[in-house]
Amino acid sequence: MLAGYYKAAQEAAAVVEMDWFGAIKLTGKDRASWLQGMITNDVLKLAPGAGCYAAHLNPQGKIVAQMHVLLDEDALWLSLERSAIPKLIAAFDKLLIMEDVQMADVSGGYSILGMIGPAAPAVIESWLGEPLKLGGGQYSHRRFEDCRVVASDLGYDIWVPRGQADKVLHFLGQHGATSIDHGTWDVLRTEAGIPVYGVDIDETTPMPEIGSRGISYDKGCYIGQEVVAKVKYIGHVNRQFVGLILSDGALPVVKSPIRKGGRDVGFITTTLYSPGLGKPIALGFVSRAAYAPGSEVEVGNAAATIVELPFTPNRSAA
Q: Is the pTM of this model over 0.75?
A: yes
pLDDT in tens, 75-106: 999 999 999 999 999 999 999 999 999 999 99
**How much of the chain, in percent, has pLDDT values that exceed 70?**
98
Q: What is the pLDDT of residue 56?
A: 98
Q: CA 95 to CA 223: how far, in whole Å? A: 10
**207-307 and 2-191 share a CATH fold:** no
* CA 25 vs CA 75, 78, 92, 254, 275: distances in Å: 7, 6, 12, 34, 37
Q: How far apart are CA 85 and CA 100, in angstroms?
A: 21
Mean pLDDT value across the chain: 95
Would you state the pLDDT for residue 314?
66
| Predicted confidence (pLDDT) at residue 318 exceeds the cutoff of 80 | no
- Domain parsing of the chain, residue ranges: 2-191, 207-307
Residue 250 has pLDDT above 90, yes or no: no
Is 207-307 a CATH 2.40.30.110 domain?
A: yes
Q: Helix (H, G, I), strand (E, B), or coil: what is residue 130?
A: coil
**Contact residues for 165 (Cβ-Cβ < 8 A; gap 6+):** 17, 111, 113
Task: Give tens-digit pLDDT for 14-44.
Answer: 999 999 999 999 999 999 999 999 999 999 9
The CATH number of 2-191 is: 3.30.1360.120
| CB count in 10 Å sphere of residue 221 | 10
